[in-house]
Amino acid sequence: MKLFLEIELITISISNYNMINICTVSDINYLAQGLTLYRSLNNKNVALHYLCIDKMSYDILSKIEDQNIIPYSVSELTNNDEHLNHLKNGDYKYFCWSLASYFSNYLLSSDKFESITYIDSDIYFHHNIQELYDTISNRDVSIFRHRQFDMSYNGDEGRFNVGVVYFRNSVKGKEVLGWWSDAVLHKKYPELATCGDQKYLNNFLDLCSDDEISVDEVGHGAPWMWQLYDYTKYLSEGKVIWGSQEQLLLFSHFSQFKLNGSGYIPSVMHHVFTPMHHYTTNEPLKSIYDNYHNEVNETIKYYNL
């Protein structure tokens, strides 16, 4: 019996290693979006490691009969890390910010996975997530720009967004992720601690050589960037044009999206970059948001949330 169990555990471990392993973090308020993210990945070879900040979201996920959704309670982390637990009981907002890097590092350090990709729960993939992995190939780290700023920008938000961050289980991938997790957890480098965990990503360029890091190689959207794009080819080919680059819009960050009765508010805050009327008068952009609204509602029905 013991031999059988050991073989079974080894088989499970190998299976996890060969899968696309992503992780996300949320409380109950973003659970519908997090599960919408999962359904959007369009790939049966994806395992979603879901860190639940509250008991309600953990209890709901634990009852879902899908072996590719693996829920974790935040207490699994705080009970084993005195500093993280102290942060939770003190600066709670910063504690929540710290979880993306901490949870990603927690998973990759187990050496059970070929890579870990952290994805914010309010991101949606318009195409198979395999497109991302085909593009970044065997890079150790992958990050995505705030395209509204040029690469010399040094503002509080940082040059990159934490929405999607990839780390390969390599010496360099683990080194960079370990640095990020430790720096955020202990609030190191005050010049980078200006926007939660985000501006720390600026330093990834110094930690990696050009052939170790992938920077912004696929099309992506967000409220702070929609105004940058030419949508001429979106409805026919799913592509946006950014400057001279024509790219498939692979994923979008629906930050500040809010259900509003039978409708929705596309962005309750970030329209300072994209004018609010853009969401209703730009037909391709309206279709992107209408589709996401429908998908979130379908997720709520599907999982009986």
- pLDDT tens-digit series, residues 215-266: 999 999 999 999 999 999 999 999 999 999 999 999 999 999 999 999 999 9
Specify the pairing of strand 239-242 against strand 245-253: antiparallel
pLDDT digits (tens, 9 = 90+) for 64-93: 999 999 999 999 999 999 989 888 888 888
The reported pLDDT for the residue numbered 144 is 97
According to DSSP H, which parts of 19-170 are helical?
31-40, 55-62, 75-78, 82-88, 92-108, 130-136
The reported pLDDT for the residue numbered 3 is 46
User: Which residue shows structure tokens 């170790």?
Assistant: 212
pTM value is: 0.93
The reported pLDDT for the residue numbered 222 is 97
The span from the CA of 289 to the CA of 292, in Å, is 5
Arithmetic mean of pLDDT, 42-60: 95
Asked if the model's pLDDT at residue 209 lies above 80, the reply is: yes
The span from the CA of 189 to the CA of 182, in Å, is 11
The reported pLDDT for the residue numbered 134 is 95
CA 50 to chain centre: 11
No. of helices (H) and no. of strands (E), the chain = 12, 13
Handedness of CA 87, 88, 92, 94 (dihedral sign): positive
Arithmetic mean of pLDDT, 109-116: 96
The reported pLDDT for the residue numbered 15 is 52
Which tops the pLDDT comparison, 6 or 192? 192
The reported pLDDT for the residue numbered 87 is 85
Mean pLDDT of the chain: 92
Q: Where are the domains of the chain?
A: 19-302
pLDDT digits (tens, 9 = 90+) for 115-158: 999 999 999 999 999 999 999 988 999 999 999 999 999 999 99
Phi-psi region of 107 (alpha: psi -120 to 50; beta: other; left: phi over 0): alpha
What CA–CA distances, in Å, run from 52 to 55, 62, 191? 7, 10, 30
Q: Indicate the DSSP class of residue 230.
A: B
Arithmetic mean of pLDDT, 200-229: 97
Beta bridge mates, 54: none
What CA–CA distances, in Å, run from 238 to 110, 234, 252? 38, 4, 12
Asked if the model's pLDDT at residue 14 lies above 50, the reply is: no
The reported pLDDT for the residue numbered 17 is 65
| SS3 (DSSP) at 233 | coil
The reported pLDDT for the residue numbered 105 is 98
Q: Which CATH architecture has domain 19-302?
A: Alpha-Beta Complex (3.90)
